[in-house]
Amino acid sequence: MTAKSAAAAARATVYGYPRQGRNRELKKAVEGYWKGRVTADALRSTGAELRRSNWRQLADAGIHEVPTGDFSYYDHVLDTTVMVGAIPPRHRSAVDADALDGYFAMARGTQDVAPLEMTKWFDSNYHYLVPELGPDTVFTADSTKQVAEFEEALALSLTARPVLVGPVTYLLLAKPAPGTAADFEPLTLLDRLLPVYAEVLADLRAAGAEWVQLDEPALVQDRTPAELNAAERAYRDLGALTNRPKLLVASYFDQLGEALPVLAKAPVEGLALDFTGAAAANLDALAAAGGLPGKRLVAGVVNGRNIWINDLRRSLATLGTLLGLADRVDVSASSSLLHVPLDAAAERDIEPQILRWLAFARQKTAEIAVLAKGISQGTDSITAELAANRADLASRAASPLTHDPAVRARSEAVTDSDARRTQPYTARAAAQRAHLGLPLLPTTTIGSFPQTTELRTARADLRAGRIDILGYEARIKNEIREVISFQEKTGIDVLVHGEPERNDMVQYFAEQLTGYLATQHGWVQSYGTRYVRPPVLAGDISRPEAMTVRWTAYAQSLTHRPVKGMLTGPVTMLAWSFVRDDQPLGETARQVALALRDEVNDLEAEGTSVIQVDEPALRETLPLRAGDRAAYLAWATEAFRLTTAGVRPDTQIHTHMCYAEFGDIVQAIDDLDADVISLEAARSHMQVARELATHGYPREAGPGVYDIHSPRVPGTDETADLLRTGLKAIPAERLWVNPDCGLKTRGWPETRASLENLVAAARTVRGELTAS
């Protein structure tokens, strides 16, 4: 086939779409179901309507082939666990009794049964539920959801492509089930899993599917020869099936590297590759591998994870090169559009010219359709679109928002000594113990307390003008008084003010820093029904005035116990924003760090003795390939130290991380030079404590003992047992007692009970240590 005929065949498609609906209808329906206000039938009806709406939007935008199966009530990896029948034994009876309730029990747990562990989806801020597999796992196919949603799309007369998590990625994402040897490798179950995938593929073929997409993003990471052999075997066997649809194997988030020739030679009909950012290297690699003769290539040339408009001419050039490398080239985003908000047109508070720089999911589908038209019909068919795109790109490049000379001069003046504390940790620790006078196994929380309906109503009332700023601040002060009073009565040692004034741990700061833009409707799913509105980091960053000092000082005035100042760190400010792509990330991080450094120093000057700078995104932003990590960790750890290094030795610096695999960044955690780190550990049964011990981590640490992403209340004995496990890895004089994460999403009843049990457990174990 010639390049000209390949161009004529170009079609537009996407791998996935935001699930929540224009007004977060899915969140409201699911949470209503949990509270008993929405029936199961009503929840399913909402889901079906959201799917229909998404597919119609895609078709109307010019998307020729819509995805199915990407919709989920909670998580698509959990959906895969259901599809292959890998239900953990502790949840089997609940799933058998009621499939929907059992599904949510696996996600959230119950008072008696722990949920599945949750962690980050590669280097994104989406969280998935980790499959638990062991040598006794029996897989059974259940394609009900996948077939039903595909048939819904067919009923709308749409061309549809079911999307599944691929078998190799599913196994590589899994962990050994409880009670299984820690060195058990779930990938050894591949031969047992493949027949289940074969059955699902046959069911989809019987339903009329021409193509099925199998997502294998795990193959963009560094993989061993054994893992690559497993991928080769998986697609050799699936490709050899006679009763199956055509197979499109998709990867995203980075280049495929050594996995590309494996998949290129596999007996499948197509590959979907990312060609944005670091994954642009896929272009040269594909050419070096001889292309994909006789196969379909879906080219991800529109960034599926950021919100900046596409450079259409650059993407057309990439597509032009690819036309000679495959039998058919189609156009897509680089990944599922799950990672971006729904529609930039809904934003009314962003200056119209700046809004033209932004592309959310609906705008990205329009870009994909334009590119498909351009390579199919020629660039003369999209002249107007190219001219408008060129003007918008030029407007952004020339904007004063993106260039502040004062900010750039300060950043360039930074020296190595600016990012180093004046004394080593051992000297600081002694000064801090003398200054703070804390007991053995000190207790604290991570920062936020429940964001009640009353708090959300107060913010809404302020925005609507129903109350003035004085009335709003009176409500905030009252909430702080209640939070401080509760912590004192409970016996917590280091207090927090509860963050009632904050809408989000990144957005709150972004709204007070120059260079950031806030959205009103830019919701993105983080996990389950937790949605966030990442701000847009569009320009150079500075801090016009103090952001947190007033509320922290007020809380401290209510108690003699230390109250932590609470800030979000520079790496997380980048990772949980849609960050500018026109300069190196390290430079942007340095600008944010300098703004936060001013806040840290002001907190200390106001009398704050403990300051926590959260960096939960340090691990998630880690490049997927090991060769790219050293450079990232160098600027990321420097940015944290630049934020915190200006304080006195007796001011204690904390940091916090959650819901990620920490083992491969323990050295980076050490390099942060924080005095205390708190980490998620409850669901993983103190795994991180053992990793810290193996590394020889020399500072204080608080591995979490209360899983805040579940509504269940851990008992005192359960919490004490976790503490005892922690003590096997971390000496008592360096062990803190705290929840996994902030309490914003929890209700007050379970928060009170859980923290009371946490304090009681600390006292119990403290007594045991004293007695011994």
Classified as helix, coil or strand, 574 is helix
Alpha-carbon gap, residue 125 to 117, rounded angstroms: 16
Alpha-carbon gap, residue 297 to 278, rounded angstroms: 19
Task: Specify the residue for token string 């989920």.
Answer: 72
Helices (H), 491-627: 507-510, 549-556, 570-575, 585-605
Question: Longest Cα pair distance anywhere in the chain, in angstroms?
Answer: 83
What sign does the dihedral 516-517-520-526 (CA atoms) show? negative
| Residue 160 contacts residue 150 (beta carbons within 8 Å) | yes
Phi, psi of 519 (to 5 degrees): -105, 160
CA triplet 26, 534, 19: central angle to 5 degrees?
A: 25
DSSP per-residue letters across 469-524: HHHHHHHHHHHHHHHHHHHHHHT-SBB--B-TT-S-TTHHHHTTSEEEE--SS--E
CA triplet 392, 396, 399: central angle to 5 degrees?
A: 130
Query: Cβ atoms within 10 A of the Cβ of 193, count?
Result: 21
Q: How far is CA 150 from the centre of its chain?
A: 27
| Active site (catalytic) residues | 709
| Residue 570 contacts residue 640 (beta carbons within 8 Å) | yes
| Residue 603 contacts residue 618 (beta carbons within 8 Å) | no
Task: Specify the residue for token string 């993989």.
Answer: 223
| Residue 146 contacts residue 200 (beta carbons within 8 Å) | yes
Alpha-carbon gap, residue 214 to 14, rounded angstroms: 13
| Residue 190 contacts residue 171 (beta carbons within 8 Å) | yes
Classified as helix, coil or strand, 602 is helix
DSSP state, 696? T
Report CA-CA distances (Å) from 704 to 177, 284, 343, 421, 657: 20, 45, 37, 27, 10
